Amino acid sequence: MTGTETGHAARTVLIAPDCFGDSLTAVQAAQSIARGWHRSRPGDRLVCAPQSDGGPGFVEVLAGRLGEVRSMIVRGPLADSVEARWVLESSPPVTAYIECAQACGLALLDGPPTVRTALDARSAGVGQLIAAARAAGAHRIVVGLGGSCCTDGGRGMVEALGGLAAARDLLDGVELIAATDVEHPLLGARGAAAVFGPQKGADPDTVAILEGRLTAWARELDAVSGRTVGDDAGAGAAGGLGAALIALGGRRESGAAIIAEHTGLAGDVAAADLVITGEGRFDDQSLHGKVVSALAAGARHRGIPVLVLAGQVTLDPSALQSAGIASAYSLTGRAGSVQRAIAEAGDQLTELAAEVAATWG
């Protein structure tokens, strides 16, 4: 049965979600949406282009499109070692793509984050990945930031590279990029500890301890870089890894923009009649440099509607309209609880997509 046989004109649908937290990778989310949509509208042409803003899934999205996927054992956020994947693109300039969540991601914890993990988690594995990329001949190193469980300001990463002086020497002449769409500074009310610490298990007292550690570490970063790097937008990304990368000579770029370039997203949007995206939690942060906002901006001036399928939706309709989002749908609302939405994320997303496809437009 074709789309026209069901009473709908066939259309080209771009499916370009980010990951759904630890429940679904961007690739899995795109597949789930496509299955549901095809069930209700089999005549539509579906284009799957999973995205990332630098957080979990950054490497997986790139792995299918460029370079050689490599893996190595590195130090995890706590005591255990973990296997981390990264991508090496050999065409000049030789470029390594690293994802911090592969070495210190929330998903690597043995259970939910706690006060103890918030205090103990470290970023050493990220430093080991950078060292491996340099040893492989990389002259450009892109580090995707997001989804970390640590708030160490990148101290663990720097120590794994031999300290600030040694790390700067190792990366001399290397184009170092912190790929993130988080705009927060390192310290203060909008900083890494205050904003993201509670998501990583920190209670108010622990947030204060983490802020004190970051403040002391910031003085060392400022001394070696000759300026106040913690004030830069994105310095607070991934528990302050952004600040350490900037102090080592790096610069911040939009993670979503990097992925969009490599996946040919602009061309896909231009060719689409409808764009579907999604993420774990669709809230105010989603509208500030995240995958959803980037897609909406690209589609808006072409008059292409954008739908959001998310784990949770906390924005009101007026905010959706101003952001260029036609409608947003919640897995939690369909499943009846956050717990079920997480436990059955793939199936729930498929069912939600089928329901939306049958009724929208």
**Mean pLDDT, to the nearest integer, of 320-341?**
88
Q: Quick one: pLDDT at residue 82?
A: 97
**Mean pLDDT, to the nearest integer, of 153-170?**
98
Q: Domain ranges in the chain?
A: 4-51+264-359, 58-253
**Domain 58-253, CATH 3.20.20.70 — does that match?**
no
pLDDT-derived band of residue 360, with 50, 70 and 90 as boundaries? confident
Predicted TM-score (pTM) of the model is 0.87
**Mean pLDDT, to the nearest integer, of 198-215?**
98
User: Across all residues in the chain, what is the average pLDDT?
Assistant: 92
Q: What CA–CA distance (Å, rounded) separates 236 from 233?
A: 8
Q: Are 180 and 267 in contact (CB under 8 A)?
A: no
For 59-64, which contacts have Cβ atoms below 8 Å and span 24 or more sequence positions?
59/85, 59/86, 59/87, 59/97, 59/98, 59/99, 59/102, 59/144, 60/25, 60/26, 60/27, 60/85, 61/26, 61/27, 61/259, 61/263, 62/87, 62/97, 62/259, 62/262, 63/87, 64/27
pLDDT-derived band of residue 318, with 50, 70 and 90 as boundaries? confident
**In this structure, how many other beta carbons lie within 10 angstroms of the beta carbon of residue 112?**
8
| pLDDT tens digits for range 273-304 | 999 999 988 887 777 667 887 788 888 888 99
CATH ID of 4-51+264-359, from 3.10.20.30, 3.40.640.10, 3.40.50.1100, 3.40.50.10350: 3.40.50.10350
Looking at the chain, the whole-number percentage of residues with pLDDT higher than 70 is 96
pLDDT-derived band of residue 3, with 50, 70 and 90 as boundaries? very low
Q: Quick one: pLDDT at residue 181?
A: 85
Q: Is residue 231 pLDDT above 90, yes or no?
A: yes
pLDDT-derived band of residue 6, with 50, 70 and 90 as boundaries? very low
Q: Quick one: pLDDT at residue 81?
A: 96
| pLDDT tens digits for range 63-115 | 877 778 999 999 999 989 999 999 999 989 999 999 999 999 999 999 999 99
3-state helix, strand and coil shares in percent for the chain, rounded to the nearest 5? 45, 20, 35
